[in-house]
Amino acid sequence: MEENNKKNSLKKLLDRLQEESWQLELLVSGFTIFGLFYARVPVDNALQKAFYEGDMLADLYQTVSFAIDILIFNLIVHLVLRSLWIGALGLRSVSGDVDIYKLNYTKLFTNYLNKKIGSFDDYIEKLEKLCSIIFAISFLLIFYVAAYFLISQLITTLYFTNSYIILTISILLTVGAFLTFFDYITQGLLKKNRWVAAIYFPFYWVFSFLTLSFLYRPLYYNLLDNKFGRRVSALLVPFYLSVLIISSFYKEQSGFIGYNSLSSNATIANNQNYEDVVEKEFYISNLAIQSKIINDSYIKVKVPLTRRLEKHIMEFNESLKQYYDKRDYKSIISIGYNNSPLKINTDSIHQEYLKTFEKVYSIKIDSVLCKPNFVIAMENERLCFLTYIGTSNLAEGKHVLVYSKYKHPGNDSIITIQEIPFWYYKK
C-alpha cells in the first residue's frame, strides 16, 4: 500500500512537471546556448592548434566542436518554435479557435482551409509535441556523437595493429558498427525478425556497452514508441546531411585562384608564413619568417615542432626513437613545472637531434643553399627550431625562401615543403 502511494505521488509530481516543462526547457535552452557560444571559441582554438601540430587530440576536439554546433542549432530551433507556441497560446486567449467562415471566402477556399488548418488547439498541441521532441533529441544527439567518436577511435586503433587476432576483432567491430547504424536508421528493423534478431543480438549487446547506451536507451525507445517521435527521428539523418552539404558551399572570389591554392609559393604570400601578420601562433604549420618586407640585417626563420616533423627525423636517425617513445601526456600536478623545452636534458641528445634536423631539412634563398645553425626554442608556448640568416648578400627586391626535405633515408630525392616570397630593402 505504501509503495503504491509512493508511485502515485511520483506520477502526480511527474505529470505536474510535464505540464510546466516548457519553462524549464526555455531556461535550459537559453543558458545552454549562451554557454555554448562562449565554449565554442576555446574548443575551436584547441582544434585548430591540434590540427596544425598533428596532435592525436584533434579528433576529440573535432567531435566536441561538432556536438556544440548540433546543440546550438537544435536549441535555437527549439527556442523559436517554443516562442511560436507561447505566441499561439496568447492568441488563443484573445480570439479562441479559428473560424474560417467569418472571413467570407469562397466555398473553394473555405473548404480547403478548414481541411488544412483544422482546430487551433490541435495546432498548439502539435507545436508542443514538436518542441518537446526537439529538446529531447538535442541532447540525445550528443550521446550519438560521443558513441560515434568512441567506436571510430577504437576501430581505428585496433585496425592498425600487427596482431591478426586484434585485426579480426576490429573487423567484427566494423561489422557491428554498420549493423547498429542500419538498425538505428531503420528504427529497429533488425530486431523484428526472429532469426535476424538472434544474429544481431550479440552485436547489440556489445555495442550497448561501447556506445554507453545505458545512459540514453530509455530516452531513445520512448521516442520510438510515439508515432510523431518516429517521424521526427526518421528525418534526422537526411536533415543533418542536407544542412552539412548546403553549409559546405561557398563562392570563390576569383575564377583563377581557388580556395585550396592559398598556400604560400613563389606567386602567393599566405599570412600563415609571416609572424607579424599571422592571426594565431599555431596557424604556422611549416615555416615562418618575421615579415613580407624585411629591412633588418637578418631573416628570422622559425620551424614549428610537430609530430609529423619529429617522426620524419626519426626515420633518418633511429637511435632517437627510444626517446620519442617516452613522449606522452603528463600532469604538472604530479611532476612539477619544468622550464626545459626538452624532457631529456642531455647536450649530446640535443646536438644529435639538431644535427639530424639540419641534415634532413634544408633552406634556400632563391637558388642559393643556406646552411644556418638552428637552436631549439620555446616561443609563445610552442617548441620550434629557430635560426637567423644574414641579408648582406641579398639584392633589394623580391626573393623566395625555399624550405625542402629529403623524402626517404638512402634516397637523394628532395621535395619542396614551402616556398615563401619576401621583399628585402635596406633601411
Is 275's pLDDT higher than 60?
yes
**CATH number of the CATH domain containing 296:** 2.60.40.10
Distance of alpha carbon 80 from alpha carbon 88, whole angstroms: 12
What letter does residue 390 receive in the DSSP assignment?
E
- Give me the pLDDT at residue 423, please: 95
Residues 220 and 301 in one domain: no
Residues 74 and 136 in one domain: yes
Residues 149 and 272 in one domain: no
Asked whether residue 199 is domain-assigned, the answer is no
Asked whether residue 179 is domain-assigned, the answer is no
- Give me the pLDDT at residue 330, please: 58
Distance of alpha carbon 215 from alpha carbon 177, whole angstroms: 18
pLDDT tens per residue, range 375-418: 988 888 788 999 999 998 899 999 999 999 988 887 778 899 99
Asked whether residue 63 is domain-assigned, the answer is yes
Residues 221 and 309 in one domain: no
Q: What is the dihedral of CA 18, 23, 24, 26, to 10 degrees?
A: 130
Of the pLDDT bands very low, low, confident and very high (cuts 50, 70, 90), residue 4 is: low
Residues 222 and 288 in one domain: no
What is the residue range of 133's domain? 2-160+216-247
Residues 318 and 227 in one domain: no
Of the pLDDT bands very low, low, confident and very high (cuts 50, 70, 90), residue 6 is: low
Residues 234 and 271 in one domain: no
Residues 228 and 298 in one domain: no
How many percent of the chain have pLDDT more than 70? 85
Q: Calculate ∠ Cα 255-257-258, nearest 5°.
A: 90
Of 205 and 14, the one with more pLDDT: 205
What letter does residue 20 receive in the DSSP assignment?
T
Residues 120 and 23 in one domain: yes
Asked whether residue 224 is domain-assigned, the answer is yes
When divided into structural domains, the chain yields a total of: 2
User: According to the 3-state scheme, what is the secondary structure of 245-298?
Assistant: HHHCCCCCCCCCCCHHHCCCCCCCCCHHHECCCCCCHHHCCCCEECCCEECCCE
- Give me the pLDDT at residue 259, please: 56
Cell of 198: 538472434
CA 305 from chain centre, in angstroms, equals 23
pLDDT tens per residue, range 335-351: 444 444 445 456 788 88
Distance of alpha carbon 169 from alpha carbon 4, whole angstroms: 48
Distance of alpha carbon 81 from alpha carbon 73, whole angstroms: 12
Mean per-residue pLDDT for 29-50? 83
pLDDT tens per residue, range 80-116: 888 888 888 888 877 777 778 888 888 888 888 888 8
In sequence order, what are the beta bridge partners of 386?
302, 375
Residue 175 in 3-state DSSP?
helix
Cell of 322: 627510444
